[in-house]
Amino acid sequence: QVQLVESGGGLVHAGGSLRLSCAASGRTFSSYTMGWFRQAPGKGRDFVADISSSGGSTYYADSVKGRFTISRDNAKNTLYLQMNDLKPEDTAVYYCATSDRRRVGLRDPLNYAYWGQGTQVTVSS
């Protein structure tokens, strides 16, 4: 099994930036697609982005394309989400997750077996 711990969330003004990190345990970190999801109060868990095992392929939700960048450092067992030009509608708890598949564009949370505890991102207007 793998354990995931997100960090880097916080409160920022619209137009600001944050970099989220997801520290993973386990020998198989580099083997599968990993993704970021977010959940606003009273809403479902929405796909943000995912990345292939090597980091060579990425896929983004339309709402964040051009503003967010997903990356991974397999040597450090860490997944990242660089968030730029943040908007109030980006406010949510952000979760990282690891899949048991090796393709990107995995928008359905059911594709992901392990989840972190989440980190709060709040963007003020």
Instruction: Answer yes or no: is pLDDT of 17 > 70.
Output: yes
In sequence order, the 6+-apart residues with CB closer than 8 A to the CB of 46 are 37, 38, 39, 61, 92
Instruction: Answer yes or no: is pLDDT of 8 > 70.
Output: yes
> Rounded mean pLDDT of 52-76?
96
Residues 74-120: pLDDT tens digits? 989 999 999 999 999 999 999 999 999 999 999 999 999 999 999 99
Residues 18-54: pLDDT tens digits? 999 999 987 666 789 999 999 999 999 999 999 999 9
Q: By three-state DSSP, how is residue 70 classified?
A: strand
Amino acid, res. 12: V
The per-residue pLDDT for 20 is 98
The per-residue pLDDT for 29 is 67
> Rounded mean pLDDT of 2-29?
92
The per-residue pLDDT for 27 is 67
For 23-48, the three-class secondary structure string (H helix, E strand, C coil) is EECCCCHHHCCEEEEEECCCCCEEEE
